[in-house]
Structure 1
Amino acid sequence: MTETRTRFRRWSLIALSVAAGLAVAAAGAGVWAVQRAFPDTGGEITLPALEGEASVYRDARGIPQIYADTAADLFRAQGFVHAQDRFWQMHFNRLTTAGRLAEVFGEEQAETDVYLRTMGWRRVAEREYELLRPDTRAYLDSYAEGVNAYLDRRDGGERGLEFTVLAALAPDHEVEPWTAVDSLAWLKAMAWDLRGNMQHETERAALLASGIGRERIEELYPAYPERDHRPIVDGGSVADGRFRADAGEGGASAAAAGGEGGEGGEGGDATLPPQEAAGVLAGVGAGLDAIPPMLGPESAGLGSNSWVVSGEHTASGLPLLANDPHLGAQLPSVWHQTGLHCTDVTDQCPFDVTGFSFAGLPGIVIGHNADIAWGFTNLGPDVADLYLERIDDGAAMVDGEPEPMDTREETVKVAGGDDLVFTVRSTRHGPLLSDAEAALDLREIGAGPPVDADGEPADRAAEPTGGGYGVSLSWTALEPGTTADSIFGMNAADDFASFRDAARSFEVPAQNLVYADTEGDIGYQAPGTVPVRGTGDGRWPAPGWDSDYDWHGFVDFDALPVVRNPDRGYIVTANQAAVGSDYEHMLTGDWAYGYRSQRIETLLAGAVGDGDLTAADMADIQLDDENSGARAVVPHLLRADAEGTAAQAQELLADWDFQQGADSAAAAFYNATWSHLLDLTFDELGPDHSPDAGSRSWLVVDRLLDDPGSPWWDGDAADGRDAVLSAAMNRAADELGRRLGEDPAEWRWGELHTFTATHPSLGESGIGPVEWLFNGPTVETSGGDSTVNATGWEHTEGYAVTTVPSMRMTIDMADLDAARWIDLTGASGHAFHPDNGNQTPLWARGETLPMPFTRAAVEEHAEDVLTLRPE
Structure 2
Amino acid sequence: MALVFRWLLRLAGALVLLVVLGVGLIYFLASQSLPDYDRTVSVQGVTAPVEIVRDNAAVPHIFGETDSDVFFGLGYAHAQDRLWQMTMLRRTAQGRLSEVFGTRTVGIDRLLRRLDLYRLAQQSVEAQDAPTRAALTAYAAGVNARLAEINERALGRGAPEMFLFDVTVAPWQPGDSLAIIKLMALQLAGHLQDEVLRARTSLMLEDADRLADILPDAPGSGIAALPEYAAMFPGLPRYAEAGPDPDTPLWPVPARGLAGASNAWAAAPNRSAAGGTLLANDPHLGFTAPSTWYLARLELAKGGVIGATVPGMPVVLSGRSAHLGWGLTSSYLDDQDLYIERLNPDNPEEYLTPDGYKRFDSRPSIIEIKDAPPITLTLRWTENGPVLPGSRYALETITPQGHVVSLAWTALSPRDTSMSAALAVMGASTVREAIAASEGYIAPSQNLMLADQETIALKTIGAVPRRDPRHQSRGRLPSQGWRAENRWQGRMPYASNPEFVSPRGGILGNTNNKIVERPFPNHISYEWGDTQRINRWQRLMQSREVHTRDSFIEAQLDPVSFTARSLLPLIGADLWFTGQAAPEGTPERQRQIALALLADWNGEMNEHMPEPLIYAAWLRALQERLIRDELGPLAEEFKHVEPLFIERVYRDIDGAAAWCDIRQSAPRETCTDMARLALDDALIWINERYGGSLESLRWGDAHQATHDHPVLGEVPVLRYFVNIRQSTSGGDNTLQRGRTSGEGPDPFQNVHGAGFRGVYDFADPNSSVFIISTGQSGHFLSRHYDDMAQLWRRGEYVPMSLDVNLARAAAVGVTRLMPRTP
CA distance in 2 between counterparts of 1:25 and 1:658 reads 53
> Map of 1:229-628 to 2, 5 A cutoff?
254=221, 259-261=222-224, 263=226, 268-269=227-228, 273-276=232-235, 292=250, 294=252, 299-300=257-258, 302-342=260-300, 345=301, 350-392=302-344, 393=347, 394-399=349-354, 401-434=356-389, 466-480=400-414, 481-518=416-453, 520-534=454-468, 535=471, 536-580=473-517, 585-607=522-544, 609=545, 611=546, 613-628=547-562
The code of the aligned residue for 1:769 comes to V
SS in 2 for 1:804: strand
Evaluate the alpha carbon distance shift between residue 46 and residue 221 of structure 1 in structure 2; reply closer, same or farther with a 3 A threshold.
Answer: same
Residue pair 1:301, 1:793 contacting (<8 A) in 2 also: no
CA distance in 1 between counterparts of 2:682 and 2:755 reads 30
SS in 2 for 1:69: coil
> Where does residue 96 of structure 1 map in the other structure?
92
The code of the aligned residue for 2:489 comes to H
CA distance in 1 between counterparts of 2:37 and 2:239 reads 53
1:750 CA drift (Å) = 1.1
> Where does residue 237 of structure 1 map in the other structure?
none
Evaluate the alpha carbon distance shift between residue 297 and residue 775 of structure 1 in structure 2; reply closer, same or farther with a 3 A threshold.
Answer: farther
CA distance in 2 between counterparts of 1:686 and 1:92 reads 38
CA distance in 1 between counterparts of 2:432 and 2:202 reads 47
> Where does residue 231 of structure 1 map in the other structure?
none
More off after superposition, 789-798 vs 145-154: 789-798
> Where does residue 173 of structure 2 map in the other structure?
179
1:279 CA drift (Å) = 10
Evaluate the alpha carbon distance shift between residue 849 and residue 278 of structure 1 in structure 2; reply closer, same or farther with a 3 A threshold.
Answer: farther
What do the CA deviations read for 1:313-364 (whole angstroms, capped 9, x no partner)?
212101110001111011111100000013xx3xxxx352000001000121
CA distance in 2 between counterparts of 1:279 and 1:137 reads 51
What do the CA deviations read for 1:624-682 (whole angstroms, capped 9, x no partner)?
11111122321232523671212111101112111111112211211111121121111
SS in 2 for 1:315: coil
What do the CA deviations read for 1:190-209 (whole angstroms, capped 9, x no partner)?
11112242111111222234
2:728 aligned with 1:781 = yes
1:403 CA drift (Å) = 2.1
> Where does residue 116 of structure 1 map in the other structure?
112
> Where does residue 852 of structure 1 map in the other structure?
801
> Where does residue 648 of structure 2 map in the other structure?
703
What do the CA deviations read for 1:97-150 (whole angstroms, capped 9, x no partner)?
000011111112111111111110011101101111122111101101000011
Evaluate the alpha carbon distance shift between residue 744 and residue 199 of structure 1 in structure 2; reply closer, same or farther with a 3 A threshold.
Answer: same
What do the CA deviations read for 1:518-565 (whole angstroms, capped 9, x no partner)?
2x1111111110111121311100111211101112111011111111
> Where does residue 213 of structure 2 map in the other structure?
219
2:196 aligned with 1:202 = yes
What do the CA deviations read for 1:63-119 (whole angstroms, capped 9, x no partner)?
111111111111111100000000000001111000001111111211111111111
The code of the aligned residue for 1:424 comes to L
2:132 aligned with 1:136 = yes
> Where does residue 19 of structure 1 map in the other structure?
none
Residue pair 1:645, 1:742 contacting (<8 A) in 2 also: no
Residue pair 1:206, 1:282 contacting (<8 A) in 2 also: no
1:720 CA drift (Å) = 3.1
> Where does residue 127 of structure 1 map in the other structure?
123
2:763 aligned with 1:800 = no
> Map of 1:626-705 to 2, 5 A cutoff?
626-635=560-569, 636-637=571-572, 639-640=574-575, 643-684=588-629, 685-686=631-632, 689-690=635-636, 692=638, 697-705=642-650
> Where does residue 3 of structure 2 map in the other structure?
none
CA distance in 1 between counterparts of 2:209 and 2:22 reads 58
SS in 2 for 1:308: strand
Residue pair 2:450, 2:457 contacting (<8 A) in 1 also: yes
Q: TM-score, normalised by structure 1?
A: 0.84
2:761 aligned with 1:812 = yes
What do the CA deviations read for 1:262-292 (whole angstroms, capped 9, x no partner)?
63xxxx3478552445699976x86699894
Residue pair 1:304, 1:325 contacting (<8 A) in 2 also: yes
1:697 CA drift (Å) = 0.7
Match of 2:738 among 767, 791, 804: 791
SS in 2 for 1:200: helix
SS in 2 for 1:653: helix
SS in 2 for 1:643: helix
Evaluate the alpha carbon distance shift between residue 851 and residue 25 of structure 1 in structure 2; reply closer, same or farther with a 3 A threshold.
Answer: farther
1:497 CA drift (Å) = 2.0
The code of the aligned residue for 1:221 comes to L
> Where does residue 251 of structure 1 map in the other structure?
none
What do the CA deviations read for 1:386-414 (whole angstroms, capped 9, x no partner)?
10011011211124721222111111111
1:587 CA drift (Å) = 1.1
Evaluate the alpha carbon distance shift between residue 419 and residue 505 of structure 1 in structure 2; reply closer, same or farther with a 3 A threshold.
Answer: same
SS in 2 for 1:333: coil
> Where does residue 156 of structure 2 map in the other structure?
157
Evaluate the alpha carbon distance shift between residue 637 and residue 672 of structure 1 in structure 2; reply closer, same or farther with a 3 A threshold.
Answer: same
Residue pair 1:262, 1:537 contacting (<8 A) in 2 also: no
The code of the aligned residue for 1:772 comes to Y
CA distance in 2 between counterparts of 1:791 and 1:572 reads 19
More off after superposition, 79-88 vs 527-536: 527-536
More off after superposition, 85-94 vs 588-597: 588-597
CA distance in 1 between counterparts of 2:670 and 2:264 reads 41
Q: TM-score, normalised by structure 2?
A: 0.89
CA distance in 2 between counterparts of 1:435 and 1:799 reads 31
Match of 2:770 among 807, 821, 832: 821
CA distance in 2 between counterparts of 1:290 and 1:854 reads 43
SS in 1 for 2:351: strand
CA distance in 2 between counterparts of 1:280 and 1:120 reads 31
SS in 1 for 2:806: helix
> Where does residue 242 of structure 1 map in the other structure?
none
1:784 CA drift (Å) = 0.2
Evaluate the alpha carbon distance shift between residue 79 and residue 278 of structure 1 in structure 2; reply closer, same or farther with a 3 A threshold.
Answer: farther
Evaluate the alpha carbon distance shift between residue 287 and residue 691 of structure 1 in structure 2; reply closer, same or farther with a 3 A threshold.
Answer: closer
CA distance in 2 between counterparts of 1:389 and 1:296 reads 25
The code of the aligned residue for 1:771 comes to R
Residue pair 2:624, 2:635 contacting (<8 A) in 1 also: no
CA distance in 2 between counterparts of 1:672 and 1:663 reads 16
> Where does residue 680 of structure 2 map in the other structure?
730
The code of the aligned residue for 2:524 comes to L
2:40 aligned with 1:40 = no
Residue pair 1:600, 1:621 contacting (<8 A) in 2 also: yes
Residue pair 1:209, 1:275 contacting (<8 A) in 2 also: no
SS in 2 for 1:92: helix
SS in 2 for 1:174: coil
Root mean square deviation of aligned Cα: 2.7
CA distance in 2 between counterparts of 1:711 and 1:630 reads 23
SS in 1 for 2:433: helix
More off after superposition, 566-575 vs 149-158: 149-158
The code of the aligned residue for 1:328 comes to G
The code of the aligned residue for 1:165 comes to L
Residue pair 2:385, 2:408 contacting (<8 A) in 1 also: yes
1:805 CA drift (Å) = 1.0
Residue pair 2:198, 2:215 contacting (<8 A) in 1 also: no
The code of the aligned residue for 2:109 comes to D
CA distance in 2 between counterparts of 1:788 and 1:89 reads 29
Evaluate the alpha carbon distance shift between residue 744 and residue 89 of structure 1 in structure 2; reply closer, same or farther with a 3 A threshold.
Answer: same
Residue pair 1:819, 1:851 contacting (<8 A) in 2 also: yes
